[in-house]
Amino acid sequence: MPIERGDIVGVLLAGGQSRRMGGGDKSLRNLVGRPILSHVIERIRGQVGRLVLNANGDPERFSDFGLPVAPDVVEGQPGPLAGVLTGMRWAMQHAPEASWILTVATDAPFVPTDIVARLAAAIEAEDAELACASSGGRRHPVIGLWPVRLAENLHGAIEQDDIRKVDLWTARFKLAVAEFSEKPTDPFFNVNRPDDLEAAERVCQQGAL
């Protein structure tokens, strides 16, 4: 069956510690006058049925965005797989109509406005179980479309098998890869450091998307 918008919960991953940015929330840094998170929400909202923010700590710092905030469901901040699992668990509880989650990083302000369509098409074309994005020949494992039914498998991989790398877990399944052009700008450009933020400002000002 085709994957429809209403079948998908968008999970915005903001659970990292932003060490290279000097701490704090990268997603709340301003890019051309508004938080990076606002840019990500704007580009994703119309592609999914529901949105949830995966973030640890005080949820009130995200209150202006009007989104539910879900902290990691496993302890110790074990990395992005925890955010994927959290998104799956949230969907099971709050959006039982959804069979899929889309995960995107909240420090990627140029995430494509057709990311869902491209990932879904890759899954359908290859009869795959899940999909991730790639640009310039480099995979972005955390930018992906995941079936909620794999929640128990993922939970076991994290808690029992101590798996932390996304690639190690997705290797257990048939993974489709959707390739995106990195011209004129890599759509998965990450704002990790202050100079990345300056580069993103230039992209926005020049309209190089």
Q: For residue range 96-133, what is the model confidence (pLDDT) as tens digits?
A: 999 999 999 999 999 999 999 999 999 999 999 999 99
State how far Cα 72 lies from the chain centre.
14
Q: Any idea which residue has 């909620």 for tokens?
A: 148
Instruction: Classify burial at 147, counting beta carbons within 10 Å of its beta carbon; exposed 0-12, middle 13-18, buried 19 or more.
Output: middle
Residue 16 has pLDDT above 70, yes or no: no
Q: Tell me which DSSP letter residue 201 carries.
A: H
Phi, psi of 129 (to 5 degrees): -95, -25
Mean pLDDT of the chain: 93
pLDDT over 90 percentage in the chain: 89
Q: How far apart (Å, rounded) are the C-alpha atoms in residues 165 and 154? A: 12
Whether the Cβ atoms of residue 96 and residue 149 lie closer than 8 Å to each other? no
Q: What tens digit of pLDDT does each residue of 134-182 get?
A: 999 999 999 999 999 999 999 999 999 999 999 999 999 999 999 999 9
Alpha helices in 13-140, H assignment, sequence order: 36-44, 80-94, 115-126
Is the pLDDT score of 33 beyond 50?
Answer: yes
Angle (CA) 148-38-87 rounded to 5° is 15
Separation between Cα atoms, residue 77 and residue 95, nearest integer Å: 24
Question: Which residues are registered as beta bridge partners of 130?
Answer: 175
Domain locations in the chain as residue ranges: 5-206
pLDDT at 20 over 70: no
- Euclidean distance between CA atoms 60 and 128, whole angstroms: 38
Q: Please check whether the domain covering 5-206 is classified as CATH 3.90.550.10.
A: yes
Whole-model pTM: value is 0.94
Provide the pLDDT for residue 59. 95
pLDDT confidence of residue 21:
44
